[in-house]
Structure 1
Amino acid sequence: MGERKRIGLAVVGSLAVCAAMATAATPAAAGTAAASCYASSGNLYCDNAPAAIYAAPRYSRPNGNPERVVDRLLTTHSYFKCYVTGQQHGGGNNVWYHTYGDQTGAWGYVAAANVYTSVDPYPGVSRC
């Protein structure tokens, strides 16, 4: 019974350590994403999700048809020239960042929901 009790305590202790590590990692990860963004000369350099780049700052046109995708962001840290306001998106705002794609180099707009900024528009980034 003593051996079983020690094993049980070891398992409980290990689970507590894992839970503490997971809790500690979550804010650090969020802070790292925001901390990796910076503005320089009106441009934004920031971590991002791989995402579609649209011809205009919207997912769909006024007639309901989808907006044309001109390229894609494949990297997870990108350059954004400036920002505009456009269609509301899942990020809870209507800010879109102007950038070029990783496949063909075409310029277009990425919803701020895909850019890991702490606030949109990001301070120091020029309006297009």
Structure 2
Amino acid sequence: MPGETELSALISHMRPMLDPEPYVFCTFEARAPGDLAQYEPIGLFSETEGTTAILPVERARELGLADAEWYRRITLTVHSSLEAVGLTAAVSAALAEKAIPANVVAAYFHDHVFVPAERAQDALEVLRDLAGGE
């Protein structure tokens, strides 16, 4: 099922949804992605320096890592194509205007924006405004 590629449609149809769960970005030098499955990561990425895992805070706590900065996930609930151009830039620019850091993860159906937990409500408002205030 192909996703939307038209930037104006992506922006006007996105309905940013704030996940109530806080997350922690962790890195593991000596663990393979499969070794982290028991911690229920919502994201894994292998890099030269190690494996990055996005873990729920409670699971990160089991590893002694919950003191790291907490992030909240905002899902842009529009089915964006992996071929779409400009959505990440538009979202990042809108958040940057309000000095809100954004870590964007594109998955098959949706884009997910991770923002510092203490700025999550501000980020949600910015993204709703970008989408047209709905």
Q: Could you tell me the TM-score, scaled by structure 2's length?
A: 0.21
RCO (CA 8 Å, sep 6+): is it higher in 1 or 2? 2
TM-score by length of 1: 0.22
Could you say which structure has the higher helix fraction? Answer: 2
